[in-house]
Every structure is written in C-alpha cells, then in structure tokens.
Amino acid sequence: MVVDWSNLPEELLNSIAVRLFSVVELKRFRSICTSWRRSGVHNNNNPFPSRPLIHFDPIAPSETLLHDEVYRCDPGAFLSHIAFFRVTLSSSPSKGWIIKSDVDIINSGRIRLLDPLSRYPLRCYSKSLDLLKVTVSEIREAYVVLGKAKARVTAPGFQRSVLGKVKEGEDHHHGVLGIGWDGYINYWNGNVLRRLEQMGDHFSDIIVHKGVTYVLDSQGIVWCISSDLQISRYLTTSVDETITNGCWGDMRFVEGCKELYIVERLPKTNPRKRKAGRTCNYSMTVGFKVYKMDEELSKWVEVKTLGYKAFMMSPDTCFSVLAHEFHFHGCLQNSIYFTENLWPKVFKLDNDNGSIITSKSSKRSFQMFSPSFL
C-alpha cells in the first residue's frame, strides 16, 4: 500500500514539527511538499532566540562607588554575549559536540568559536560553518563583561556576571550584576557603576535561576538579590558547616534539569582561609563535592551521584548536559568537566572517592569539545 504523505492531517504534522531540533530542520520539513509548507506547523526551538538589546556605554577609567571607594576599570569595557550549543551532523544526530560562541561586536561583528571550558579561541581548520549541514540547539547562555576585546580579559569587577532586570524608580531596566576578584558585588547599567553593600563573606559565584538572582559566598551561604538590589540570606543553614577553604572560585553554582546545584572544589592541600586583601595559595584539584537544594527540608544536601548528567565548569557559567546526547564522543556520565592549568580534565564521581581523568590519559572523553567538521 502506497502512503500519500502529502495528505497527512495537520494535527500529525504539528506533532512531528514540535519534535524537530532546530529552525534548519523545520525548513527542511516545510520543503517536503506544498501541503506541508502550507500547513500551520510551528517550532519554537530556535537555536538563536531573540534577546534583549542592550546598549552599554564604555566604563569610564574610574567611577566613585559607595563608601567613597574607587573601582578602576580600563575604558572601553563592553558586554559580551556567550552561548553554548549542541551541534550534530544532520546525517548522524547521535554524534553530538559542544561548541561555544560569542560575537565580536567591536571589530568584524562575526561570531567567534571558543573553547567551551575556557575563553580561548577554538582551533578551527575551516573558515566557515555551513548550518545547513548541521543541527544546532542552544544549551546555555551567559554574559561577560570584557575589559579588552582582543585579549578576552574580563573586567576586574566582573569576573562572574549575570544579566537581570533591576528596578530603578518606577521602571525596570536590564543591568549587569557581577562579582570581582575582591569578592564584592558590583552593579552596572551601562552608565552607572556602583558596589552593593556587602552582606556575605567574600562572594564567589552568581546565577539567575527561575528568575531569582542568587549569590554564593565562600562559607557556603546562599543569598538573594532583589530587583531593588537588596541582599538577603536565602536559608539559615549553609551548604556545609565543615567548609574551611574559603578561596575565591572554589564554589560554583550549576543549573541542571531546572534544579540548582552547588559544586565545591576540593584542593590537594587545605590552604589558610582567605583574609581581606589577600589571595589564597592555589592547590591542585583532587575532587569535588556536589550539593542540591532539598525544598522539603529547606536545606542543601550532598549529592553522591549525578546519574546520567555531566557538569560543565566553564569560567563564564556552569551547566549540566545529558551524557547520552554526546555518548558517541565519550562524554562521561556522573562526572564534572573542568580546566586546570589550561588542561581539560574530568572528575568521575565513582563511589565516594572518585577519580580524575586527563585528556592525555583518555582523549575519547574529550572529543565532544573538538568538532570534526571544523
């Protein structure tokens, strides 16, 4: 029996369309025949969704902040949009790679590809990417305040940044909230740059989760920032009362499957607790601890396994992926990918001890960061 595909009911065509991965696949779908093209099918999985248009003036060489403190930043700093994508070949949808991009708004305006676990350019052997040959879907986005475009150096006061809506008078405007190397929280709306009143002990990460801005300090305490830039403690308990490290960057937020996690880096040696105006002595990573919010108990609990997920620890933002979507290229489930001394590494949460794998010992585990078509 020969099936006339041009006479499929519109309800079935809609059911097919909503399962497509990208706009490219939708266009291919609509090119099958006249009836499919005329159907009212739609697909909201746009890999390049629209985002708020923000015009920021360059940060002045210096701005006076609260408490008469002065924060200095090189002139010409600008907001850069970062996006992480899952890319598959149309002929082999099971072969997934992760790519990271930003837009060179200062010079050419072209999209640049970066290493997903760092801010360095991705080594490409091809000068262009034909989107008709691949399927692209966005995984995560982030915003970075760069002080120098070519060197890809972040502004000192915005080592971690998020974009959010802030109430100014009766209106809400988009602005950037960031954490500097000194552990303080700064706010920038393109014209005004100021430091928020400090509440926690040396903040280390910031994230917008389900519309709420959370910040994390070095003692494992989570705080909330309201739309009027007021900081309040999220819970009365910290992540782990035994945390003694207290170094900048050792604790990060990770968002995965609509849940919020906290990942703590475990150094080889336990350095002294950070003091004001001093930096910690860095020590090699031996493992990680993972915590998740238990909403019923209203506290953070340690997670012993990530299941089928893998965490990606990027300097811009941290997020989770489903390992099986990149399984062909060896993405390890129940693991945490990170970079140390410019080398990509992965920590496998096997048993209670875990183990660290490097790109030297297992190249297959890192192939998803090196697309074969570039």
- The whole-number average pLDDT for the span 115-141 is 80
Greater model confidence, 115 or 46: 115
Lowest-pLDDT range, 48-52, 151-155, 196-200? 48-52
Say whether pLDDT at 19 is over 70. no
Say whether pLDDT at 60 is over 50. no
Say whether pLDDT at 48 is over 50. no
- The whole-number average pLDDT for the span 242-262 is 75
Greater model confidence, 217 or 63: 217
Q: Whose structure tokens read 């079935």?
A: 12
Confidence of residue 352 (pLDDT cuts 50, 70, 90): low
Phi-psi region of 67 (alpha: psi -120 to 50; beta: other; left: phi over 0): left
Say whether pLDDT at 247 is over 70. no
Q: Whose structure tokens read 């700093």?
A: 77
- The whole-number average pLDDT for the span 154-172 is 83
pLDDT score, position 338: 95
Phi-psi region of 241 (alpha: psi -120 to 50; beta: other; left: phi over 0): alpha
pLDDT score, position 214: 93
Say whether pLDDT at 314 is over 90. yes
Contact 356, 346 (CB under 8 A): yes
**How would you write the chain as a 3-class SS string?**
CCCCHHHCCHHHHHHHHCCCCCHHHHHHHHCCCHHHHHCCCCCCCCCCCCCCCCCCCCCCCEEECHHHCEEECCCCCEEEEEEEEEEEECCEEEEEEEEEEEECCCCCCCEEEECCCCCCECCCCCCCCCHHHEEEEEEEEEEEEEEECCCCEECCCCCEEEEEEEEECCEEEEEEEEECCCCCEEEECCCCEEECCCCCCCEEEEEEECCEEEEEECCCCEEEECCCCCEEECCCCCCCCCCCCCCCCCEEEEEECCEEEEEEEEECCCCCCCCCCCCCCCCCEEEEEEEEEECCCCEEEEECCCCCEEEEECCCCEEEEEHHHHHHHCCCCCEEEEEECCEEEEEECCCCCCEEEECCCCHHHHHHHCCCCC
Percentage above 90 pLDDT, the chain: 20
**Candidate ranges 132-136, 172-176, 190-194; pick with highest mean pLDDT:** 172-176
Say whether pLDDT at 275 is over 50. no
Dist CA 302 CA 263 (whole Å): 10
Dist CA 55 CA 229 (whole Å): 21
Confidence of residue 63 (pLDDT cuts 50, 70, 90): very low
pLDDT score, position 75: 56
pLDDT score, position 274: 43
- The whole-number average pLDDT for the span 48-62 is 43
Please state the pTM of the whole predicted model: 0.78
For the stretch 71-81, pLDDT in tens is: 444 556 777 88
pLDDT score, position 335: 94
Greater model confidence, 58 or 282: 282
Say whether pLDDT at 44 is over 90. no
Greater model confidence, 31 or 178: 178
Confidence of residue 82 (pLDDT cuts 50, 70, 90): confident
The string over 324-355, giving b where at least 16 C-beta atoms fall within 10 Å of a residue's C-beta and e elsewhere, is ebbbbbebbbbbbbbbeeeebbbbbbeeeebe
Lowest-pLDDT range, 38-52, 88-102, 215-229? 38-52
Greater model confidence, 175 or 309: 309
For the stretch 207-230, pLDDT in tens is: 999 889 999 988 888 999 998 888
Share the mean pLDDT of the chain.
Answer: 77
Burial of residue 102 (number of CB atoms within 10 Å: 0-12, 13-18, 19+): buried
- The whole-number average pLDDT for the span 36-62 is 50
pLDDT score, position 252: 94
pLDDT score, position 146: 81
